[in-house]
Structure 1
Amino acid sequence: MPDQESPFTPSFDHLVTQTLQRHHCPGASISIIHNNHTSSKAYGYSDIKSRTPVKSSQTLFYAGSTTKAMLCAAWAIYINSPTNTSKPAKNRISFSTPLASLIPEDFLLSDPVRTAQVTLEDVLSHRSGMTRHELSYGFHGVDTPKLITRNLRNLPLHSLFAIRTRFEYCNTGYVAASHALEVVAKENLGDILQGWIFEPLGMRDTFAGLRETTGTRREDLARLYSWCENEGVLKEEAFMDLSGVTGAGYVISTAEDFAKWMGCLLAPGRGGGGPLSEEIVEEVFKSRIPATSRGADSVPLDGGFANYALGWFVGVYKGRRVYYHAGGVVGGGSRVMLCPEISWGATFLSNGDISGFLLKGLLFELLDAALGEGEGERRGFEQCEAAVPRLFEEFSLQCENAFKRVLPNLPERPTVSLALPLDQYAGTFRNVGYGSLEIRVGLDPSSGEETLLCDIEDRTWRAKWTFRRINGEHWRIDSDQSRWPDTRRAESRVEYDGRISWGIAMEPSMLETLIWFH
């Protein structure tokens, strides 16, 4: 692309630098494709200790949940392949095929009726009625796609919502769909993605998970960082091994490789050599269920509303349809956005926590420019920035309101004592679906008072819990790490033999449902 046409103007470069600093993101790499022309640019550092700069063609980042679109595309490729279409009609797989018919021994939910109902399309569009249960996987014995899928039978469903009535983001549904594709295609997902998508597109710097980034390529992987508000410092996070969740979010790539992926979606089947046909792209872009409405995350879409397709959110911006998805790991984030009407797409990959949301205004700034708006006319970036505090406020308020709805009229301080001394409530407690929890006596990081703590380090998603007494055997558990605190309730119970059991609302969206650990 000629220099005068480059979207990376000095004013945009300045905007990126300011935005990275404001949101405590060490670095980012951005790629753009517009009318088949691609460009990319890197900003900041991949390693703040060594001051290693980000390089758009070399630095690797976690793509997170933008992987989901790749899994959906792979499923569409299989469904439209001769391997499938040559079968008798009754044996052909489609997106409406029940998942249990593909992996009957593995896909079993706690409700047999729901098990029979849930289709491939349902899990890929987050409308299965399954909820997140993010702390239910990653530990030994529940750490592969097959084992995570088999563990679904031990997890409660959202009793309030029937299938296909509500959008509820669920990574484990994508894990089950990943496992099912491996079974029917008789290959592991990494080989499928490499052979069906990455290699045909020349995505030589894209990898199916951390384990594939060996040797010098591991050195090119950007370090991960989270901002610690209380201490005012950036904390380096450990690399995440997401091999268990596969198609839900394990891809590692570069911004330049993502430009090739975007080009394939914007011009499917171009020259007959692309892995995706127009029919496949149309299928994965088709809206399946309303997803967001008037919340901070849907800013600045027209009407503040979005649907969900297969691995893509679908919204309208200034009268034009856009397809987008964010990704996030602990200490990193990403976002892809496409506007096919003007043959435009942009991706950013970053090593800052929550950057998939915090930096999204940069993509709208680029889209406004691609739409021909002058710098003084663009409002997308400003609207996104204004929505950032709203996002945290909405999340915090949602947690508090849910807690008060389940436990109204909470006392200001406990009026009823525990049945046993505090140290009797510590120990190792186990649940069949959630594994073991090590609860110990320690000091409340806020008040300094003696209480119970639990450090969850053996899951895909880690957490640090502080138990705070409400009254009697009722507790509030606060997760205080990073900028995404959450709250859940718990009950302790003295059993007939004197031993303690814990009932904990492991899923924050289901505070009324306690999971019992013994």
Structure 2
Amino acid sequence: MKKIAVLFLCGCLLITAAHAQNDAAPSFIKDSLDNYVNRALSEWKIPGVAVCVVKDGKIAVMKSYGVKEMGTNDKVDENTLFMIGSNTKAFTGTALAILDAERKLSLDDKVQKWLPDFRMYDPWVAKETSIRDLLCHRLGFETFQGDFMYFDSDLTTEEVRDKMSKLKPMYSFRSKWGYTNSAFMTAGEIIPKVTGQNWADFITGRIFKPLGMNNSLALSGDIKNANNICAAHTVVMGELRKIPYGNIDNLAAAGSISSSVNDMSKWVLMQLNGGKLGDKQIVPASALGQTKLPHSILGNGGHMFNKAHFALYGLGWFLEEYAGRKIVAHTGGVNGFVTSVCLIPEENLGIIVLTNTDANGFYEALRNEIQDAYLGLPYRNYSNVYLGFQQADEKEKAKQYKEIRDSIAMGPKPALPLTAYAGEYMHEVYGKMSIEVENGKLIMRFEHHKGRYGTMEPLGGNRFFCTYSDPLFGMKKLEFTVEGEKIRSLTVRVADFVEFTPYEFIKMK
């Protein structure tokens, strides 16, 4: 009887503990999460969302909402793949930190030790650049500088490296943080020099497989063979559209991974457990420590509601102080997807949010809502706040667009005949661009973005309104430079999501 009583007592204690653990979940998670996400699917025009919360070494939440592709009933599940964009960078930083921990290289090695052909605009900078410099965005480039050339283009990795070497950074070496995708690509190119395996094979063999991330894909080119994967979507002038997947394997180490919340939960569990999944050491704890060590200063940081200080960058992770805790996080944006991964080591908490449009702020709103809930901070309804910001921005853009369309409808004459603007143009780094007159409009085509074009309509003088055929590149006012009665150049801009900096194409003939 005593044995039975003891077993009964143990059973009661286990049941009580299980209820206590469940009760420990914040009320937002228990009572509001489903309604919060389902409402957002409609308000933000998001076909599908997947979310996971890891707490105290266990999966606290793993849920999926909506569909993989607009207009279908094909539901997202925990194994559905999303492109995770720049959340790839933490994998690349970790891969190189593993090799550092194994003494196969040093993160302080000069890049030219492993890539003797590595070049920068300034030869001295090329000589002094270390692997750490590549992984913490301190080469001197402006954020996204060069990405229009590289992103979703027909350039090979070798050609991207060549063009990167010819691009003049806007700032001096190590003087300013500037987000540089091509630097992470370069870091990925060091891996085969050390291991004999390319970046994708190393990531798969040393991280994916040991963690059991069996559905994850290292390269965007592998998507065509995947069955359970979301379609890519965007929103253009309030209309949800399906778009092609990004072709970004020339920048693979910066952003080409596709994964699911199930697979990413294992990555996060390992990150929060000193490199272990269960009792198995997957990544040396010292390697993870290197990636989370501050290397670059972004600024003071801050938060619209709560206390936060400092904005820093490690090796593939953003770092900040928020409500007295260290936050280790990153976001990812690529054609048709935006995603978020957040670690709060002191709370043993990890948050993963994956979405299949590139035109929403909900992926960060949900992460912030979950984060605040677990930290005991007040509910803010970030989704509503961010949606208000976006709607105000869209309203202003719609007003500007109407004004532009009204101006075009009045038939403003360009300063010169359209044929004067047509011809062959050259950018010293990008290469060729051509402009032709087609059906009374100027059509601009780029050498390395085949199949895409910009349609330019006169705004008067030498100004034109350009609508790119690919929504990723947006709509921009462009202006030609004229010397005498001849066209000298066209300054090309694309959407800030791709690149902030302009490209001056010189007219050759």
TM-score range, shorter chain: 0.7 to 0.9
Q: How does 1:334-373 map to 2 (within 5 A)?
A: 334-355=339-360, 357-372=361-376
CA distance in 2, matches of 1:439, 1:191: 41
> Which has the higher Rg, Structure 1 or Structure 2?
2
Q: Is the 8 A contact 1:442 1:453 kept in 2?
A: yes
Among 49, 64, 67, the residue aligned to 1:45: 67
What residue number does 1:134 align with? Answer: 147
Give 1:378's aligned amino acid: Y
Give 1:110's aligned amino acid: Y
1:200-247 deviations in Å (ceiling 9; x for gaps): 1111011112333454xx231101111122xx3211101222211111
Among 421, 436, 442, the residue aligned to 1:425: 421
**Bigger mean CA deviation after superposition, 485-494 or 9-18:** 485-494
Among 477, 480, 499, the residue aligned to 1:491: 480
Q: 1:396 Cα deviation (Å)?
A: 12
2:200 matches 1:176: no
Q: Is the 8 A contact 1:70 1:193 kept in 2?
A: yes
What residue number does 2:271 align with? Answer: 265
**Bigger mean CA deviation after superposition, 64-73 or 3-12:** 3-12
What residue number does 1:226 align with? Answer: 234
Structure 1 residues 465 and 182, CA gap change in structure 2 (3 angstroms): farther
Q: 1:489 Cα deviation (Å)?
A: 5.3
Task: Give the 3-state SS of the residue equivalent to 1:190 in structure 2.
Answer: helix
Q: 1:104 Cα deviation (Å)?
A: 2.1
Task: Give the 3-state SS of the residue equivalent to 2:330 in structure 1.
Answer: strand
Among 273, 284, 287, the residue aligned to 2:291: 284
Q: 1:299 Cα deviation (Å)?
A: 5.0
Structure 1 residues 461 and 28, CA gap change in structure 2 (3 angstroms): farther
What residue number does 2:491 align with? Answer: 504
Q: Is the 8 A contact 1:62 1:252 kept in 2?
A: yes
Give 1:122's aligned amino acid: D
CA distance in 2, matches of 1:395, 1:110: 39
Among 408, 423, 430, the residue aligned to 1:434: 430
Q: 1:354 Cα deviation (Å)?
A: 3.3
CA distance in 2, matches of 1:393, 1:188: 45
Q: Is the 8 A contact 1:477 1:487 kept in 2?
A: yes
Among 155, 158, 166, the residue aligned to 2:167: 155
Q: 1:118 Cα deviation (Å)?
A: 2.4
Q: Is the 8 A contact 2:213 2:266 kept in 1?
A: yes
Structure 1 residues 41 and 501, CA gap change in structure 2 (3 angstroms): same
Q: Is the 8 A contact 1:137 1:459 kept in 2?
A: no
CA distance in 2, matches of 1:506, 1:365: 35
Among 48, 62, 65, the residue aligned to 1:27: 48
Q: Is the 8 A contact 1:65 1:325 kept in 2?
A: yes
Task: Give the 3-state SS of the residue equivalent to 2:366 in structure 1.
Answer: helix
What residue number does 2:385 align with? Answer: 386
How much is the aligned-residue C-alpha RMSD, in angstroms?
A: 3.6
CA distance in 2, matches of 1:395, 1:65: 25
Give 1:386's aligned amino acid: V
Q: 1:479 Cα deviation (Å)?
A: 6.0
2:137 matches 1:123: no
What residue number does 1:90 align with? Answer: none
What residue number does 1:88 align with? Answer: none
What residue number does 1:446 align with? Answer: none
CA distance in 2, matches of 1:461, 1:337: 37
Q: Is the 8 A contact 2:412 2:458 kept in 1?
A: no
CA distance in 2, matches of 1:228, 1:169: 26
CA distance in 1, matches of 2:435, 2:165: 25
Structure 1 residues 303 and 220, CA gap change in structure 2 (3 angstroms): same
CA distance in 1, matches of 2:450, 2:296: 28
**Structure 2 residue runs without a partner (length 5+):** 1-17, 397-409
Q: 1:467 Cα deviation (Å)?
A: 6.2
Q: Is the 8 A contact 1:506 1:514 kept in 2?
A: no
**TM, length-normalised to structure 2:** 0.80
Q: 1:468 Cα deviation (Å)?
A: 5.3
Q: How does 1:76-87 map to 2 (within 5 A)?
A: 76-82=97-103, 84=104
Structure 1 residues 432 and 162, CA gap change in structure 2 (3 angstroms): closer
Q: 1:139 Cα deviation (Å)?
A: 7.3
Give 2:87's aligned amino acid: T
Structure 1 residues 133 and 301, CA gap change in structure 2 (3 angstroms): farther
CA distance in 2, matches of 1:279, 1:461: 46
Q: 1:464 Cα deviation (Å)?
A: 4.1
Q: Is the 8 A contact 1:46 1:222 kept in 2?
A: yes
Q: Is the 8 A contact 1:209 1:241 kept in 2?
A: no
**Bigger mean CA deviation after superposition, 306-315 or 262-271:** 262-271
CA distance in 1, matches of 2:414, 2:37: 54
Q: Is the 8 A contact 2:82 2:258 kept in 1?
A: yes
Structure 1 residues 176 and 338, CA gap change in structure 2 (3 angstroms): same
Give 1:134's aligned amino acid: D
Q: Is the 8 A contact 1:477 1:490 kept in 2?
A: no
Q: Is the 8 A contact 1:66 1:335 kept in 2?
A: yes
Q: 1:62 Cα deviation (Å)?
A: 0.3
Q: Is the 8 A contact 1:474 1:492 kept in 2?
A: no
**TM, length-normalised to structure 1:** 0.79
Aligned length: 466
Structure 1 residues 246 and 494, CA gap change in structure 2 (3 angstroms): same
1:398-451 deviations in Å (ceiling 9; x for gaps): xxxxxxxxxxxxxxx999974x521232244344521332323368xxxxxx55
Structure 1 residues 125 and 112, CA gap change in structure 2 (3 angstroms): same
Q: Percent identity?
A: 23
Among 205, 210, 216, the residue aligned to 1:206: 216
